[in-house]
Amino acid sequence: MRILIAEDDAIIADGLTRSLRQGGYAVDWAPNGLDADSALLTANYDLLILDLGLPKLPGLEVLKRLRSRNSQLPVLILTALDGTGDRVRGLDLGADDYMVKPFELAELEARVRALTRRSAGTVPTIQHGALSYDSVGRVAHINGHPLELSAREIGLLEILLTRMGRLVSKDQLVDHLCGWGEEVSHNAIEVYVHRLRKKLEAGGVKIATVRGLGYCLERPESE
Q: Which is nearer to Ca ion, 8 or 35 (CB)?
A: 8
* DSSP letter assigned to residue 213: T
User: Which single residue brings its beta carbon nearest to Ca ion?
Assistant: 53
Answer for which of 15, 23, 53, 220 binds Ca ion (CB under 5 A) is 53
Taking residues 13 to 52 in sequence order and writing x for each that binds Ca ion by CB under 5 A, - otherwise, the string is --------------------------------------x-
- The two beta strands, 145-146 and 139-142, are antiparallel
Estimate to the nearest angstrom the gap between the alpha carbon of 191 and the chain centroid: 21
Q: Would you put residue 211 in left (φ > 0), alpha (ψ -120 to 50) or beta?
A: beta
Does residue 158 touch Ca ion according to CB under 5 A?
A: no
Size of the site for Ca ion (CB under 5 A): 3
Contact region for Ca ion (CB under 5 A) — 2-10, 34-42, 91-99, 178-186?
A: 2-10
Does residue 86 touch Ca ion according to CB under 5 A?
A: no
Q: Are the beta carbons of 115 and 76 closer than 8 angstroms?
A: yes
User: Rounded to an integer, what distance in angstroms lies between the CA atom of residue 20 and that of residue 40?
Assistant: 19
Binding-site ranges for Ca ion (CB under 5 A) = 8, 51, 53
